[in-house]
Amino acid sequence: MKTQVCIIDDEKDGREYIALLLQNEFPEIQIDFQASGIEEAFIYLTKNSPDILFLDIQLNDGTAFDLLSKFKELSSQIIFITAYENFAIQAIKNGATDYLLKPIKKIDFIIAVNKALDNMKRNKTFSFSTAQDNKISLPTLQGFKMINIPDIVHCEADSSYTTFYLADKSKIMVSKTLHEFEEVLADHNFFRIHHKHLINLSHLQEYIKGKGGQVVMSDNSTLNVSTRKKNDFLEKLKL
């Protein structure tokens, strides 16, 4: 499958220049969507998850940060583009893979895209190597820890980090998004009940009715079920 890219820039010339660079330097990459502002970009990103997102900071209807604030997390590699150096720190805090200044230099562009591709390769390797023999490897600063999947009670998202809560009451925080673990654990009786919570249904003790409702887990934690996820969750349980 080709690498999918989305370009969001309020200047047509800017979008065309990025498209030309991709065509010339990375012909294996496919441009899936282009947008000039927040509204159309938001509609696209709620339904799609491009591998790489080129995101101009100053858009015609707000800023890139206004757009990102509408999402709890995005799994895309984000390459920010701007004419202003003073946005660098804010871009980094918003999970920037890289930061390109206008006018974009070809060598800087190539370095940024290669960095994104390298990150994707590492994440893909991680995803395919984790859920084996009913174990999952969690990356740490020192290396990784092997955890028995049945021992995971639930996982909680915190921006680009995920905290694992285990049956022995211990917890482990890793610098990966919950989305990545959701994909790995999908075949191990896990269900995402909320943008913050991925639960092991084997540890579910009780469901409490409400607008979305709540679940009580085997570690006595009480977690909210989002209204958007409620019907799918109950269908999963056949309730």
Domain spans in the chain, listed from the N-terminal domain onward: 3-129, 132-237
pLDDT tens track, the chain, 239 positions:
689 999 999 999 999 999 999 999 999 999 999 999 999 999 999 989 899 999 999 998 999 999 998 887 788 899 999 887 777 667 666 668 898 999 999 999 999 999 999 888 766 655 444 555 688 888 776 677 889 999 999 999 987 789 999 999 999 998 788 888 887 888 899 999 999 999 999 999 999 999 999 999 999 999 999 999 999 999 988 75
* Owner of token pair 């995971």: 152
Supply the pLDDT for residue 129: 45
- CATH architecture assigned to 3-129: 3-Layer(aba) Sandwich (3.40)
User: Could you tell me what percentage of the chain is helix, strand and coil, using 3-state DSSP and rounding each to the nearest 5?
Assistant: 40, 35, 30
Per the structure block, which two tokens stand in for 9?
A: 């820039």
Q: Which amino acid is at 140?
A: T
Q: What is the rounded radius of gyration, in angstroms, for the C-alpha atoms of the chain?
A: 20
Count the neighbouring beta carbons within 10 Å of the beta carbon of residue 209: 9
pLDDT, residue 182, reads 87
**What six digits make up the tokens of 93?**
């805090």
- With the C-alpha atoms ordered 147, 150, 151, 156, is the resulting torsion angle positive or negative? positive
What pLDDT does 224 receive?
Answer: 96
Q: Which helix (DSSP H) or strand (DSSP E) does residue 79 occupy?
A: strand 77-82
CB distance 9 to 33 below 8 Å: no
Beta carbons within 10 angstroms of residue 186's beta carbon: 13
Hey, how many other C-beta atoms are within 10 angstroms of the C-beta on 156? 19
What is the enclosing helix (H) or strand (E) of 174?
strand 171-174
Query: What fold does the segment set 132-237 form as a domain?
Result: OB fold (Dihydrolipoamide Acetyltransferase, E2P) (2.40.50)
Cα 94 vs. chain centroid, distance in angstroms? 12
**120: which residues sit within 8 A by CB, 6+ positions away?**
3, 51, 52, 77
